[in-house]
Amino acid sequence: MTGATSALADEDIGWYAGISANRASADFEDRSDVDFDDSDTALGIRGGYMFTDLIGVEVGYLDLGDFSARGDRPGNRIDLDADAFSAALVLNWSVHD
């Protein structure tokens, strides 16, 4: 599920922002008998600027969630907190007005 709003609704240029809610999955297995297959909610925010109706730039942050598991032996444990940052060149080609 993704949403975005434009600062200038009648134009395809200017600032915009968006949020997203997704499901992230992690599947991990190692030689220390620690393994898990888990999922969590991933929340994101992004924003950008369209210089023209064709070209823009965008930056974003995505919190992919927290995952943890215990192994078969005492002391075997893994904790994972995953985040992502992005920067992109945006190329826009509208198929319909």
Asked if residue 74 belongs to a domain, the reply is yes
DSSP SS3 for 9: coil
Asked if residue 96 belongs to a domain, the reply is no
Task: Give the range among 18-22, 40-44, 64-68 with minimum mean pLDDT.
Answer: 64-68
Which residues does residue 47 pair with via DSSP β-bridges, in sequence order? 17, 59
Q: Which residue has the higher pLDDT, 86 or 77?
A: 86
Q: Are the CB atoms for 59 and 44 separated by under 8 Å?
A: no
Asked if residue 97 belongs to a domain, the reply is no
User: What's the number of domains the chain is made of?
Assistant: 1
Residue numbers of the domain that contains 47: 2-91
Cβ-based burial of 65 (10 A; exposed 0-12, middle 13-18, buried ≥19): buried
pLDDT at 33 over 80: no
Distance CA 65, CA 5 (A): 25
pTM above 0.75, yes or no: no
Residue type, 88: A
pLDDT given at position 37: 72
